[in-house]
Amino acid sequence: MASQALSAPLAATTAAHDGRRRRELIAFAILLAAFAVLPHLVKDVYAQNVIVLTLMYAALSQSWNILGGYCGQISLGHALYFGTGAYATSLLYTKFGVIPWFGMIVGGVIAAAIALVLGYQLFRLAGHYFAIATIVIAEAGLLLVHNWDWAGAATGIQWPFVPDSWLTFQFGRDKLPYIYFALGLFAATWLVTFAIEGSRWGYWWRAVKDNADAAESLGVKIFKSKMAAAAVSAFFTAVGGAFYACFVQYIDPDSVMAFKFSLLMALPAVLGGIGTLWGPVVGAVILIPLMETTSSYLGGTGRGIDLIVYGLLVMVVALARPEGIVSLFSRRKAPKA
């Protein structure tokens, strides 16, 4: 019954669906091209730094969105994976001389493994219990790293000062390599999301959201697919963390594992449109530059003006556009589709 009801309209809209997916790919190509050109137009180092962060958070939020948006598992502990990537890369590089490119992959795999173990335990928790549990596990991780002497504990890890090189992925002043890496990471996460949307997983997840009966019949498959989604999400988040370590060249527990990172990964997706393909990047493009500039140009007053602006912004956007900013565009299209 349930599957019939679901598949009939699906077949009818397949053509329109394919057309829409093709248009999305084209829009994506244009976006990539725009971001690739942007740093050649904006030479200011500070602005380029903002571009790096925007792309990084777009990628992180896109990764978060796979689990938090599409699967509906609201994780507020992704800082754990971010930190795993940053620490794995930094430790391998500074202690064993392993180049960051390799460390990045190692960090990603470790994070994915952690996500599988945690997912197995946590997916049976309902809504808020899941969210709080992820916060607590990430906090526990932060505390442990804080007290892990071999990993530098509170002192953190200072990367050695070396000349610019692609091999060690370190550049003193040049922001272009970082912009392109962040752009590549964002592209990868976007394409993975795009592929998932068109796959059986995406279909199942949508079915579960729309139809409670479907959830029953798909139970086991859903659980497995969510586990896989958690692993993918954690992997890319860790690669993002590894990238951050290469970018800043100094990490300590609070600067890569604090709760605020977990929020900053979820926030763009929420603002842009949770569980949507374009939400995270739209959210990041609006949120990150605004946050950075308010804290840079209003933070100097020392009176909390930047916090007031940031808080108001988050509140107003959450209230004014609960479906996210991308809904502004899809609503116009709605009659057509």
The residue (of 167 and 319) whose beta carbon lies closer to other proteins is: 319
Give residue for tokens 């571009």.
51
Examine residue 219 and tell whether it contacts other proteins (CB under 8 A): no
At 165 the three-state DSSP class reads strand
User: Given the rule CB under 8 A, which of 9-17, 57-65, 99-107, 251-259 is the region that contacts other proteins?
Assistant: 251-259
Pair 122, 133: CB distance under 8 Å: yes
Comparison of 159 and 186: residue with beta carbon closer to other proteins: 159
Give the HSE-up count for residue 134: Cα atoms under 13 Å, Cβ half-sphere.
32
Smaller CB separation from other proteins, 29 or 308: 308
Gyration radius (Cα) of the chain, Å: 20
109, 103 contact by CB (below 8 A) = no
Residue 318 near residue 267, CB atoms below 8 Å: no
Q: Is residue 176 a contact residue for other proteins (CB under 8 A)?
A: no
User: Please, what's the largest Cα pairwise distance for the chain?
Assistant: 65
Q: Which stretch binds other proteins (CB under 8 A): 100-108, 214-222, 230-238, 263-271?
A: 263-271
Minimum CB separation from other proteins for residue 249, in Å? 7
Q: Which is nearer to other proteins, 68 or 108 (CB)?
A: 68
The one among 255, 286, 290, 330 contacting other proteins by CB under 8 A: 255
Q: Which is nearer to other proteins, 19 or 322 (CB)?
A: 322
User: Per rule CB under 8 A, is residue 296 in the interface with other proteins?
Assistant: yes
Nearer to other proteins, 128 or 336 (CB): 128
Nearest distance in Å: CB 303, other proteins: 5
| 126 lies in the binding site for other proteins (CB under 8 A) | yes
Q: Tell me the one-letter amino acid at 15.
A: A
- CA 130-136-140 angle, to 5 degrees, is 145
Q: Which of residues 303-332 bind other proteins (CB under 8 A)?
A: 303-316, 318-319, 322-324, 327
Query: Of 49, 99, 87, nearest to 238 (Cα)?
Result: 87
Q: Among 94, 211, 217, 295, which residue interacts with other proteins (rule: CB under 8 A)?
A: 295
By CB under 8 A, the residues from 4 to 33 that bind other proteins are: none
Residue ranges in 139-168 that form contacts with other proteins under rule CB under 8 A: 139-140, 143-144, 146-147, 153-156, 158, 161
Binders in 33-52 for other proteins, by CB under 8 A: 42, 44-47, 49
15 vs 10: CA distance, rounded Å: 10
Note the helical H segments in the chain: 2-12, 14-41, 45-65, 79-96, 100-122, 127-146, 176-198, 200-210, 212-248, 253-257, 259-272, 279-298, 305-320, 327-333
Q: Binding marks (x or -) toward other proteins, 64..103, rule CB under 8 A? A: ----------x-----------------------------
